[in-house]
């Protein structure tokens, strides 16, 4: 083992990587079993979960049923959902929401005290529970973080970047982790849960936090885990279009359209009326494509919130109003310019109904996993539900699994690592080009030619980024934060290459995956596709 790995912690704890909804719910559900939660953010508050707006779907309203919720989910999934997991997800939604209520999550209520439900695109009934209007993620995460603080079985390692998994005799044996304060550490554990969130920051326009660059997906891929559905990236139709030089774009929640907000073109006309029978409430991919078709030819598209104000419903959207005002708009008087942006990854590490991956000892839950419930297109607000449902199932499975004893001694950290002469500007240039390539060629509208161009250039960028055969940790690398910067760039590139490969392979258009050279759904492609890093290597 390299000298720069400073200490090896022999650990009986379950290691949970990620402190979003999936990670914290899993850690809490495992209590009193000892858990170490690792998160790369400076505090527990981070990830997309904190930013979630619309809410969490649950079939609890009058006239609703798990069957109807399942039907909407299957329809949105464009033929690629796994029906059984979908039925189980919607069947358990009320119980899982109740768990959050019992933890103290302050969901909004109607006058009779029952949980208020909003209607979102492609849901046939109001079904989305929310908190603080459109500040659901904030209230949810506050509740979970408070609970974690009061749970002595949970140890938190914040500001700590998970490097690579340790694998010994095909069994997980822990992982390497880096913090600027203490350098590299080896954490030994036969039970690791990846809850590292999504990959939106692999694209230039994204609603995700910029550190949502696919670390967990890349880490699992390098360890040999089976991934699936990688080509399916959902683009949110309505990110506020502001000049932001690659920073995250503020989201204008779908629930605004559920409350009456309208999409207008430059002439003030409701173009969605001509695109889909459900107009503004059409499935996300349909709306995103309709917007994209206009913005790529230089037109501006607007979201008009004035009907929401006229109906007196603006009080439910404090975040949307605040972000618009912060950007210099007055949503009471003027429509807001919007653009479609990378938002949610349906694909991920393939798991079974218990959240087990193909590697013994490795579980995954939340956006980093693919469970089959979203198919080719996620139904709005089903992702928080999925993250919560599977986080609790993973905890249940680990609690009932025998602790494997083989692990803990012999594995060596995965190599390679950051080159000694790494340069900040070079790494940042590689990152920006990766994101630009993904937006240009692996975005809402794809073609075989564009995907080939992206695949070749991404491979060149990977070579340009370079790597060393041993983990370096000089004073300079540490001071400049280059170990993590380089680690994220490497992960982003691998994820970009995997997604591009999967998109090139699927020669049809379905759900969120749209190919101009294969514009139709093809029945022979109505199945999910797995991918491993070994297959990617073989292809080049």
Q: If binding is defined by CB under 6 A, does position 201 make contact with ligand FAD?
A: no
Asked if residue 46 binds ligand FAD (CB under 6 A), the reply is yes
Of 469, 442, 458, 514, the closest CA to residue 491 belongs to 458
Rounded CA separation 44/447 (Å): 40
Q: Which of 185, 381, 411, 434 binds ligand FAD (CB under 6 A)?
A: 381
Of residues 451-490, which lie at the interface with ligand FAD (CB under 6 A)?
A: none
Stretch that binds ligand FAD, among 53-61, 183-191, 436-444, 523-531 (CB under 6 A): 53-61
CB 251 within 8 A of CB 237: no
- Determine which residue in the list 207, 370, 500, 509 makes contact with ligand FAD, applying CB under 6 A: 207
Instruction: Verify binding: residue 317, ligand FAD, rule CB under 6 A.
Output: no
Q: Is 304 exposed, middle or buried (0-12, 13-18, 19+ CB in 10 A)?
A: buried
Would you count residue 215 as binding ligand FAD (CB under 6 A)?
Answer: yes
Instruction: Please give the Cα distance from 351 to 357 (Å, whole number).
Output: 5
Q: Which is nearer to ligand FAD, 39 or 509 (CB)?
A: 39
- Residues 236-265 within binding reach of ligand FAD (CB under 6 A): 251
Closest CB 383 distance from ligand FAD, rounded Å:
4
Using CB atoms within 10 Å of the CB of residue 311, give its burial: 0 to 12 exposed, 13 to 18 middle, 19+ buried. exposed
Which phi and psi (to 5°) does residue 234 adopt?
-90, 130
| 225's tokens | 């885990």
Q: How far is the CB of 134 from ligand FAD (least distance, A)?
A: 8
Of 195-203, 299-307, 423-431, 447-455, which segment contacts ligand FAD by CB under 6 A? 195-203
CA distance 303 to 488: 34
Q: Which of 14, 16, 27, 38 binds ligand FAD (CB under 6 A)?
A: 38
The residue from 39, 189, 238, 389 that contacts ligand FAD (CB under 6 A) is: 39
Q: Which is nearer to ligand FAD, 140 or 407 (CB)?
A: 140
- Cβ neighbours of residue 88 under 8 Å, at least 6 residues apart? 353
The CA-CA-CA angle for residues 295, 296, 300, to 5°, reads 20
User: Is residue 355 close enough to count as binding ligand FAD by CB under 6 A?
Assistant: no
Query: Taking the complex as a whole, how short is the minimal distance between the CB of residue 196 and ligand FAD, in angstroms?
Result: 4
CA nearest to 107, candidates 88, 131, 84, 138: 131
Q: Which is nearer to ligand FAD, 187 or 454 (CB)?
A: 187
Are residues 241 and 197 in contact, defined by beta-carbon separation less than 8 angstroms? no
On the question of a cis peptide bond just before residue 32, with omega within 30 degrees of 0, the verdict is yes
- For 125, other C-beta atoms within 10 Å of its C-beta total 16
**CB closer to ligand FAD, 215 vs 229:** 215
Chain-centroid distance, C-alpha 292: 21
What distance, in Å, lies between the first and last C-alpha atoms of the chain?
A: 31
From the list 302, 309, 344, 518, which residue makes contact with ligand FAD (rule: CB under 6 A)? 344
| Residues 130-149 contacting ligand FAD, CB under 6 A | 136
Site residues for ligand FAD, 160-179, by CB under 6 A, read 161-162
Q: Does 52 bind ligand FAD (CB under 6 A)?
A: yes
Strand partners, 342: 206, 235
Shortest separation between residue 229's beta carbon and ligand FAD, angstroms: 14
What does the chain come to in residues?
Answer: 540
Of 121, 165, 199, 212, which lies in the binding site for ligand FAD, with binding defined by CB under 6 A?
Answer: 212
Residue 59 makes contact with ligand FAD by CB under 6 A:
no
Q: Is 233 in the site for ligand FAD (CB under 6 A)?
A: no
Among 23, 174, 347, 361, binds ligand FAD (CB under 6 A): 23
In this structure, what token pair is assigned to residue 7?
């200490």
Q: How far is the CB of 171 from ligand FAD (least distance, A)?
A: 21
40 lines the binding site for ligand FAD (CB under 6 A):
yes
DSSP assigned state of 343: E
The yes-or-no answer on residue 510 being catalytic is no
Q: Compute the distance between CA of residue 365 and CA of residue 374 in angstroms, rounded to an integer.
A: 13
Selected range binding ligand FAD among 80-88, 196-204, 314-322, 394-402, rule: CB under 6 A = 196-204
Please give the DSSP secondary-structure letter assigned to residue 523: G
Among 284, 392, 393, 506, the active-site one is 284
Q: Does 21 bind ligand FAD (CB under 6 A)?
A: yes
DSSP 201: G
Asked whether the beta carbons of 353 and 88 are under 8 A apart, the reply is yes
Q: Which residues bind ligand FAD (CB under 6 A)?
A: 17-23, 38-41, 46-49, 51-56, 136, 161-162, 195-198, 207-208, 212, 215-216, 251, 344, 366-368, 381-384, 387
Give me the active site residues, please: 284
């Amino acid at each position: 083992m390299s000298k720069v790995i400073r200490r090896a912690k022999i650990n009986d704890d379950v290691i949970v990587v990620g402190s979003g909804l999936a990670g914290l719910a899993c850690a809490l559900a495992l209590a009193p079993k000892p858990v170490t939660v690792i998160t790369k953010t400076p505090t527990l508050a981070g990830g997309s979960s904190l930013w979630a707006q619309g809410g969490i779907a649950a079939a609890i309203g009058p006239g609703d049923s798990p069957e109807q919720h399942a039907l909407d989910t299957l329809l949105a999934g464009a033929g690629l959902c796994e029906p059984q997991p979908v039925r189980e997800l919607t069947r358990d939604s009320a119980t899982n929401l109740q768990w959050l209520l019992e933890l103290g999550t302050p969901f909004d209520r109607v006058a009779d005290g029952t949980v208020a439900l909003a209607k979102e695109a492609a849901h046939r009934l109001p079904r989305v529970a929310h908190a603080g209007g459109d500040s659901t993620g904030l209230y949810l995460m506050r509740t979970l973080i408070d609970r974690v603080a009061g749970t002595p079985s949970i140890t938190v390692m914040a500001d700590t970047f998970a490097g690579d998994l340790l694998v010994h005799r095909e069994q997980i044996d822990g992982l390497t982790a880096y913090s600027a304060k203490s350098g590299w550490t080896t954490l030994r554990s036969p039970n690791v849960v990846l809850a590292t969130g999504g990959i939106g920051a692999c694209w230039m326009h994204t609603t995700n936090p910029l550190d949502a660059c696919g670390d967990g997906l890349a880490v699992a891929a390098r360890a040999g885990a089976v991934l699936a559905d990688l080509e399916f990236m959902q683009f949110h139709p309505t990110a506020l279009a502001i000049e932001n030089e690659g920073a995250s774009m503020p989201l204008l929640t779908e629930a605004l359209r559920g409350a009456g907000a309208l999409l207008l073109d430059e002439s003030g006309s409701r173009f969605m009326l001509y695109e889909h029978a459900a107009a503004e409430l059409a499935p996300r991919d349909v709306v995103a494509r309709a917007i994209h078709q206009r913005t790529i030819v230089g037109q501006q598209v607007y979201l008009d919130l004035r009907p929401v104000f006229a109906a007196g419903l603006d009080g439910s959207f404090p975040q949307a109003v605040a972000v618009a005002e912060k950007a210099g708009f007055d949503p009471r008087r003027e429509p807001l310019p919007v653009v479609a942006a990378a938002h949610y990854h349906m694909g991920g590490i393939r798991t079974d109904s218990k959240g087990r991956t193909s590697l013994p000892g490795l579980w995954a839950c939340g956006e980093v996993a693919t469970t089959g419930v979203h198919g080719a297109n996620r139904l709005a607000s089903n992702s928080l539900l999925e993250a919560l449902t599977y986080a609790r199932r993973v905890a249940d499975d680990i609690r009932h699994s025998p602790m494997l004893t083989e692990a803990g001694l012999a594995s060596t950290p995965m190599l390679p690592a950051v080159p000694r002469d790494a340069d900040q500007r070079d790494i940042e240039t590689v990152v920006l080009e990766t994101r630009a390539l993904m937006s240009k060629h692996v975005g809402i509208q794809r073609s075989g030619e564009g995907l080939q161009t992206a695949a070749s250039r991404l491979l060149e960028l990977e070579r340009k980024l370079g790597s060393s055969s041993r983990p370096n940790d000089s004073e300079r690398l540490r001071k400049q934060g280059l170990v993590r910067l380089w680690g994220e760039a490497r992960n982003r590139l691998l994820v970009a290459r995997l997604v591009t490969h999967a998109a090139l392979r699927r020669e049809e258009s379905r759900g969120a995956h749209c190919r101009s050279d294969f514009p139709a759904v093809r029945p022979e492609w109505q199945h999910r596709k797995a991918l491993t890093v070994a297959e990617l290597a073989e292809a080049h």
